[in-house]
């Protein structure tokens, strides 16, 4: 149905000064929506038949100029939506025009985001958005100098089809779309695209199957790793084993958080640290084997500043340097863990993350309160898990940790 836009003197409302507000009126699909122009006139100065100010109206020229600008703005938006064959309602039209848009292309905005993350030292975000930018650029054959409004459901479906021709895994496709959706949301917040054009209400990212293979191993295999004698083996095998066991015994602490531990995080027989990912403060008791691992590696803490020989306060000064160092060492540790799985005679894909999942699964299978450990330690429930861990008293966690060995 055709839409109409005009400005009326709204007689139904009388202001304190006795005047009526001027309102923009949008009619579409038998529905009317109104928005104030922020100005008002006395009824004696308004021609209600011709719907315009009378010749004797004070500031007549200014009022006519404001009316013309506003009506033109709405008509321009209607033409744009019609040319793009996009549906709209009186409400969405009113909302879209109310948002003052400063058009910025996908290429410009992505480059801004990438530069921002890099300057802030957020290396993880920097790499994710850079990969997303390169992927979109490749898909569009370099034609990424487009407005965000070009990214509609049809575009997204074509992008998905293209990713599948490149044999991307389901989890990789999901990450590509989650990053793009995040960029689109940021562009909306920055007023670079209208909210009513958002395509992800219809294009559901939840459709992608992001379930991963089971990562946890049994308590019996954990014990085999603990009892494995590699005292005469190369350093990285010993180090990888200690990191794996420490993570398992310490609430599934991940490799990045292990890397940042200092002696200030050790308070008596407890370890208290703030998660890098969520910012949550975690406090967990240290049982005897974990204390021995801390004692073993803290000998150089006065020199490096950190308990474990991963980061060095004298060398790794920026967040990017820390990020690169952590991922380099984690790669070596995970490689050594694969060798450890062979030494215990088991065909399991050991990684530092397996220790995290195993912590949760072993306690769950031991009958520990599900609220204490969380259903999983996967990304979707990670925050909830940490919140639950924080809400319990240390003696409850003490009792739970007995089940680990």
**CATH code, residues 106-207:** 1.10.150
**Axis-axis angle for helices 153-165, 123-139 (nearest 10):** 90
Reported as a single tens digit per residue, the pLDDT across 277-314 is: 767 778 888 888 999 999 999 988 889 999 999 999 99
Domain with CATH 1.10.150 in the chain: 106-207
Q: Which residue has the tokens 């579409």?
A: 28
The edge-to-edge listing of strands for the beta sheet with 270-274 is 266-267, 270-274, 281-285
DSSP state of 26: E
* Positions of the chain with pLDDT lower than 70, given as ranges: 1, 96-101, 209-215, 278, 363-405
What is residue 348's predicted lDDT score, i.e. its pLDDT? 82
Tell me what pLDDT residue 405 has. Answer: 53
CA atoms within 13 A on the CB side of 301: 17
- C-alpha distances in Å from residue 131, one per residue of 139, 179, 187, 232: 12, 9, 18, 42
> Burial level of 130, CB count in 10 A (0-12/13-18/19+)?
middle
Q: Which residues in the chain are classed under CATH 1.10.443?
A: 219-404
Beta bridge partners of 311: none
Question: Closest Cα partner for 284 from 365, 405, 396, 403?
Answer: 396
In this prediction, residue 324 carries a pLDDT of: 87
pLDDT tens readout for residues 348-387: 888 888 888 777 777 666 665 555 554 333 333 444 444 3
Q: What is the pLDDT of residue 321?
A: 86
pLDDT at 311: 94
Q: Spell out where 109-222 has E strands.
A: none
Q: Which CATH number fits domain 219-404: 1.10.443, 2.40.128, 1.10.3470, 3.40.50?
A: 1.10.443
């Amino acid at each position: 149905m055709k839409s109409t836009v005009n400005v009326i003197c709204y007689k139904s409302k009388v202001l304190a000064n006795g005047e009526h507000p001027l309102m923009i009126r949008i009619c579409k699909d038998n529905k009317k929506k109104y928005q104030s122009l922020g100005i008002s006139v006395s009824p004696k100065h308004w021609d209600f038949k011709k719907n315009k100010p009378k010749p004797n109206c004070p500031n007549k020229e200014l009022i006519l100029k404001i009316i013309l600008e506003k009506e033109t703005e709405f008509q321009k938006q209607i033409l744009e939506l019609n040319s793009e064959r996009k549906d709209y309602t009186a409400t969405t039209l009113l909302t879209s025009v109310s948002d003052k848009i400063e058009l910025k292309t996908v290429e410009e905005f992505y480059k801004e985001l990438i530069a921002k993350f890099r300057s802030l030292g957020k290396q993880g975000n920097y790499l994710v958005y850079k990969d997303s930018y390169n992927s979109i650029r490749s898909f569009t054959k370099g034609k990424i100098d487009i407005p965000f409004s070009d990214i509609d459901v049809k575009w997204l479906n074509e992008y998905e089809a293209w990713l599948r021709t490149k044999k991307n895994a389901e989890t990789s496709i999901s990450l590509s779309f989650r990053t793009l959706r995040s960029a689109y949301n940021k562009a909306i917040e920055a007023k670079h695209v209208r909210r009513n054009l958002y395509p992800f209400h219809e294009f559901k990212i939840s459709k992608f199957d992001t379930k991963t293979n089971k990562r946890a191993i049994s308590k019996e295999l954990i014990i085999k790793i603990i009892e494995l004698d590699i005292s005469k083996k190369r350093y990285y095998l010993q180090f990888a084993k200690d990191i794996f066991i420490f993570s398992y015994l310490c609430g599934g602490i991940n490799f990045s958080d292990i890397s940042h531990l200092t002696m200030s995080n050790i308070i008596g027989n407890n370890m208290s640290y703030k998660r890098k990912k969520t910012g949550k403060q975690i406090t967990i008791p240290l049982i005897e084997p974990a204390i021995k691992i801390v004692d073993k590696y803290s000998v150089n803490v006065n020199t490096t500043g950190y308990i474990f020989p991963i980061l060095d306060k004298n060398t790794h000064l920026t967040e990017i340097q820390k990020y690169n160092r952590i991922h380099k060492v984690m790669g070596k540790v995970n490689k050594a863990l694969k060798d450890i799985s062979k030494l215990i005679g088991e065909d399991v894909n050991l990684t530092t993350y397996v220790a995290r999942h195993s912590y949760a699964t072993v306690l769950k299978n031991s009958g520990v309160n599900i609220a204490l450990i969380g259903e999983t330690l996967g990304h979707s429930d990670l925050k909830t898990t940490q919140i639950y861990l924080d809400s319990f008293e240390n003696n409850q966690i003490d009792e739970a940790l007995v089940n680990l060995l």
